[in-house]
Amino acid sequence: MISFLKLADELKLMCNSVASGELMDNSITPSQLQPSAPEVEKEDGKISFSRMEDELKLMDDYVAPLQLQPSSLEVEQEDGKVSQQKKRRTSTVSVATGVMSTLSGKLTTFINDEYNKRKEVRKQASFLEKELSAIHAALELPELMNELAPGVKNWRDDLREISYDMENCIDDFIRQFGGEDVEVCFFLEAAELHKRLCELHRISNQMEELRTLAVEANARRESYKIDDCKPSFGPVAVDARLRAVYQEAANLVGIEGSREEVISWLMNTQKKLMVVSVVGFGGLGKTTLAKQVFDKIKGHFDCVAFFSVSQRPDLRVLLNRLQLKLGINASSHDCGFDDIIEELRKYLTDKRYLIVVDDLWDQSAWNTISCAFPENGNGSRIIVTTRVEDVAGMACHNDRGRIYTMKPLSDQNSRMLFSNRVFGSEVVCPPHLKDVAAEILKKCGGMPLAIVTIASLLATQVRSKKHWESIRKSLGAHSATNPSLKEMNSILNLSYTHLPLHLRPCFLYLGMYSEDHIIPRDDLVKQWIGEGFVSSLHGPDLEHVGRSYFNELINRNMIQLAENDENEYGEVLCCRVHDMMLDLILSKCVEDNFVSVAHNSEDMARLLHLCKYKVRRLSLCSMAVGGATYDTAIATRLSQVRSLLFEDAIIPLLWFKYLRVLIISNEREIVDLTAASQLFLLRYLMVRARKIELPTKLGELVYLETLDIENCTLMESIPSDIVNLPRLSYLLLPYGTKLPEGMMNMKSLRTLRWLDMEKSSLECFMGLSELTNLRELRMSVGRSLGLPKVDALACSIGKLCNLESLVIFGGDHVEREDSQQLGSLSNPFQHIERLELHYWRLWRVPKWLFGLNCLRFLKLFVEETSTQDVHLLGELPSLVHLEFGAFEIPGYRAMFGTGLFLVLEFLYFWSKKDTTPYLGFEAGAMPSLQTLWFSACDWGGTIPVGMEHLLHLQEIQVHTLYISKDSVDRLQEAEDAFKEALLMHPNRPSVIFS
């Protein structure tokens, strides 16, 4: 507690303010004179201020004698009396004491008045909260109507903006005048007290205004009847039929003829660089065709890349992305176009390369991109997909023999694609639905995107002819024998209007992302949760509910599967949005003032000066803010933003006090997040940057649920008060980060990455055992931990009963004594699905591993292994992905037989020795295996036997990383031997040596 002398000084200032009317003026409502936490007393759930009055009296009694006692040098006595100087001093002190006594009484009255005022504002806030629920219910009806009268549309839009303002007003009140989560000290300086009084007055007035608007809106909606029934909802998985549509696209959409024709152009004997263009409007399957061709022939090239350009490309970022896809390490410093292009040309000069340039829109972009592709006489190939005929012609030098024009699907292939999506490949369309299905297909005009989208909508009610008829009628009267964008847009819009209401904001939120952006599912779900789109009515675990939302959008073909190398769980981990669907999203966002997007300065000017409503969610890039000058008016215009995504742009964070979601991507500059500590409502913070500067304290971010700075470099250590954030569930830190002490307090954590255990204390190791909500844990351990830390680590992770994913990344030389200790765990984490022990070398495969029946992904290194160990791994019932390394392997062949690795799809067997003579596969072995990798260090002339028995095998990679100079000449001989052995394989899998 601060000293009474300091309080006296502050109260003198308050007295002066009171005397001048600054504090007690009738135009200002009293504010938050709330006692500090230890002094709060409650009666019937309300705060009692009696303790404050006692403190004031005590302070008055304490200060008075202090002020009355002069120093010894000043005491003068005349005939035993106090001198006039002392009398004057006494008189002065008495006046001060009198003012303080008066102030004590005034403050008591003031506190009661303030409490009553706060009570009134609390009532208003409660009213607004209830009214918000009514407003949301009222807004459901117009959402379900296809057409709205102008008056109804205006009413809906006004009501939507009122609801935003209501929520903001309630948040202001909670922040400033504290519910249970916010504690504010009673003892405030005069200026701060005055500020709080004004703020309470402002909020009170705003609530009154909103209350009036809400009452008026209620009067305007009396004619509407709101259906209070809640839709039923259960966990949603990705529809297996839809996965088949994507996985077997070549057969389902009749693409094999087109694919083989384009392949024949590309795989001729011409050594000169060749460009082939695929042209057609959106939705005809250009990207699908290019991907099919790419996958089929990529094994014949030294290096390959598939990348999308999109309508508004940032060419510098695009070329950097191409570097990464080709395996070129981009420079850490800023490079111009010339530097990047020169680096690409240098890398590709002596290689035979295959590049797909997808979704090219204009000639100027091609003129820049094509400079990176040297003519090297090695038979390199480029595939360009575009909607624009002129671009297609220019890319292949107007050689009409290299332009493939996409055509709509035939009637037969259209029916096949439609039936497989709706009914599955084994079921045909029921007779009572054939006529209406034929009419719907006619309107789709042979466009694959339209067919899959409308089929996904019909698949939800496959037996209801009434539902199918209503969909057919909704598609319009005109025929689509010649496919048109108008008909396509009609189909896509119909899919949106049939979305359940709880999915619409989730779908529109995708407008935050640019064209062709690969969006990770889990990031998206956390952003939905941060915005409040995921309802607890659909389940207690919001993350699982959000994933169900995501899967339902996949099933309805509103978003598409995106390739991901970690899809070993049978789950869709990433998505992308077709550009035509993105156009629909952005048009709806404009209509509903949902997401605002600025690609350039003109877009930004429109948002700031021409839009009718305030900006609520904002996505912008550097071109939109570069060189702009911002003033107070603009800051006010943007102050209501709830989600903000920006790339390579710098905007003052303090403008955005209502932010829930903040996503920053800036690889060029240091990102300054010091102001983020004042974003009280922030739920989700993700940064992708070269370097970031964090606030010194994070304690005020009491709502923060996700902090993702994994792909950054920290300039300072993590703030120590991060361990006190009550809701932090997902903490993703840069690799090798030391956490502050007190980690055991972070009991809400579900995900924790990448803490450095070597830098952390023993208490940190022991504290891990307290984090029983952890589902995912990733850590680095350095070279040596020491036995006490290893014991503590083994003990702690053994207690994490809910753990689903554990990744431990050791250095290249982890001490063996340390790594062996982890093999002594007993019955750990029975729910674990993913276990990766990088460079953490165990002596043998640990016994406890064989009880992990949920384990799907395993990465393990051991000193030595045996056929028995490998067979025991093969008995894990759920194992889909296995990367297994052994420094010592037996000299005899291990035969993998029937009954082992029943669901395994990926196997990587690694050793410093040549593993090819060790592997053998009997008939019926590994019935699901699709990808086989192994090492052939110093290849000895043998190959694994029985590869023809792996009936689903599609790809083999042979890694020769440690091959000796004497064996280099034998690489081609090894590759030829593998290809010859696979001549009779039904799938003709590709063979790649790397």
Alpha carbons 884 and 908: distance in angstroms, whole number? 6
CB atoms within 10 A of CB 205: 11
pLDDT band with cut points at 50, 70 and 90 for residue 117? low
796-813 average pLDDT score: 80
Q: Identify the weakest region by mean pLDDT among 693-702, 723-732, 910-919.
A: 910-919
The pLDDT tens digits for 757-794 are 878 888 888 888 899 999 999 988 766 666 677 777 77
Residue 179 has pLDDT above 70, yes or no: no
More confident residue, 163 or 223: 163
- Lowest average pLDDT, out of 587-596, 630-639, 710-719, 821-830, goes to 821-830
If you average pLDDT over each of 302-316, 679-693, 815-829, which comes out highest?
A: 679-693
- Which segments within 842-971 are labelled E, that is strand? 857-864, 881-888, 894-896, 906-910, 919-921, 931-935, 955-959
More confident position, 692 or 491: 692
pLDDT number for residue 227: 39
Pairing outcome for strands 706-708 and 617-621: unpaired
Distance CA 515, CA 358 (A): 12
Q: Where are the domains of the chain?
A: 99-223, 255-405, 499-592, 595-728
Look at residue 34 in the predicted model and tell me its pLDDT: 35
pTM (2 decimals)?
A: 0.73
Residue 859, strand partner residues:
836, 883
Q: For the residues 374-378, what does the mean pLDDT come to?
A: 89
Reference 501, options 616, 592, 603; nearest CA is: 592
What is 810-855 written as a DSSP string?
A: E-TT--HHHHHHGGG--S--TT--EEEEET--BSS--GGGGG-TT-
For 1-57, the pLDDT digits (tens) are: 333 333 334 434 443 443 344 433 333 333 333 333 333 333 343 333 343 344 334
Report the residue count for the chain.
Answer: 994
- The DSSP secondary structure of 397-415, one letter per residue, reads TT-GGGEEEP-PPPHHHHH
Which of the four pLDDT bands, split at 50, 70 and 90, describes residue 862? confident
Confidence (pLDDT) at 852: 87
Average confidence score pLDDT of the chain: 75
pLDDT for position 785: 67
| Distance from chain centroid for Cα 580 | 23
Same-fold call for 255-405 versus 499-592: no
CA atoms of 598 and 600, how far apart (whole Å): 6
Range among 15-29, 211-225, 363-377 with highest mean pLDDT value: 363-377
Percent of the chain whose pLDDT exceeds 90: 20
First CA to last CA distance, the chain = 69
**500-526 per-position pLDDT tens digit:** 889 999 999 999 998 888 899 999 999
* Reported confidence tier of residue 196, pLDDT bands at 50, 70, 90: low
Task: Decide: 858 and 881 in contact? Cβ < 8 Å.
Answer: yes
DSSP string, 296-308: HHGGGSSEEEEEE
Residue 378's identity, in one-letter code, is N
> Which of 114, 270, 139 has its CA nearest to residue 197?
114
Statement: residue 973 has pLDDT above 70: yes
CB 722 within 8 A of CB 743: no
What is the rounded average pLDDT of the residues 864-883? 90
pLDDT of residue 222: 60
pLDDT score of 293 more than 60: yes
- Contact of 219 with 523, CB cutoff 8 Å: no
pLDDT at 961: 63
* CA neighbor of 637 nearest in space, from 663, 611, 662: 611
Nearest-angstrom CA–CA distance, 565 and 903: 17
**What CATH class has 595-728?**
alpha beta
Going by their DSSP bridges, the two strands 931-935 and 990-993 should be labelled as unpaired
Read off the pLDDT of residues 605-648 as tens digits, 9 standing for 90 and up. Answer: 777 777 788 889 999 876 666 555 556 667 777 888 999 998 87
- Phi first, then psi: give them for residue 841, nearest 5 degrees: -85, 115
| Res 748: pLDDT | 94
- Decide yes or no: CATH 1.10.10.10 for domain 499-592: yes
Neighbours of 269 (CB within 10 A): 5
pLDDT (tens digit, 9 = 90+) per residue, 557-610? 888 887 654 455 567 889 989 888 898 899 999 988 999 998 877 788 777 777
Position with higher pLDDT, 662 vs 286: 662
Indicate the class that CATH gives domain 255-405.
alpha beta
pLDDT at 881: 93
